[in-house]
Amino acid sequence: MPPDVHVSLWREIMRLIEDGVFCWNMDIWNELSPSVSGEIGECLSFSNEIVCFEVGIGDWPWQKYLEYVELMRTKYKDYISEYNGNRKGTISLNDCSIVCLAKTLGLSVMSMEKPYRQPSQKKIRIPELCSREGIRHYDLTELLRAEGITA
């Protein structure tokens, strides 16, 4: 959704970012930051110091996070792309890391992914991983509705 066409929508998204509604970890930040520019990129960069959770830094249960990371690496090893020849259409270690952060902090996850229409024995995406771990997942439309944002 281009920012010059959906000005009021992006203004509301920036308000959510500034209000600390979103958080991420360094894995996600390193993946996200090069691809987001303009006002949204600047807003994310400014907020990064406040809402980016890094292992060993700050007052958050990062030891529990690391426990969840190891548990998920083992539990979902058959679905993790990096362990299966970089199989497309499935979760990556970064995907697992953001789900682990949400689990650690008791938060929901927002991604642009939709669940598979047909269950697969070899592939899962972020929405399925969240479901399996008891974490609420939102896509952008669901997030906008949950936050009462209309444009």
Domain ranges of the chain: 7-146
List pLDDT tens digits, range 93-130. Answer: 999 999 999 999 999 999 989 888 887 777 899 999 99
Q: How far apart are alpha carbons 124 and 119 in whole angstroms? A: 8
The model carries a pTM of: 0.86
Q: What is the DSSP letter of 80?
A: B
Task: Please report the pLDDT score of residue 53 as a whole number.
Answer: 93
The CB density around residue 118, as the number of other CB atoms within 10 Å, is 5
29: number of CA atoms within 13 Å, CB side? 18
Task: Please report the pLDDT score of residue 131 as a whole number.
Answer: 94
H helices of 33-92, where? 38-51, 62-75
Task: Please report the pLDDT score of residue 21 as a whole number.
Answer: 86
In the predicted model, residues of the chain with pLDDT beneath 70 are 1-2, 151
CA distances from 59 to 2, 11, 85, 116, 143 (A): 36, 30, 37, 36, 27
Task: Please report the pLDDT score of residue 136 as a whole number.
Answer: 95
Q: How far apart are alpha carbons 60 and 63 in whole angstroms? A: 9
Task: Please report the pLDDT score of residue 1 as a whole number.
Answer: 65
Query: Which architecture, in CATH terms, is 7-146?
Result: 3-Layer(aba) Sandwich (3.40)
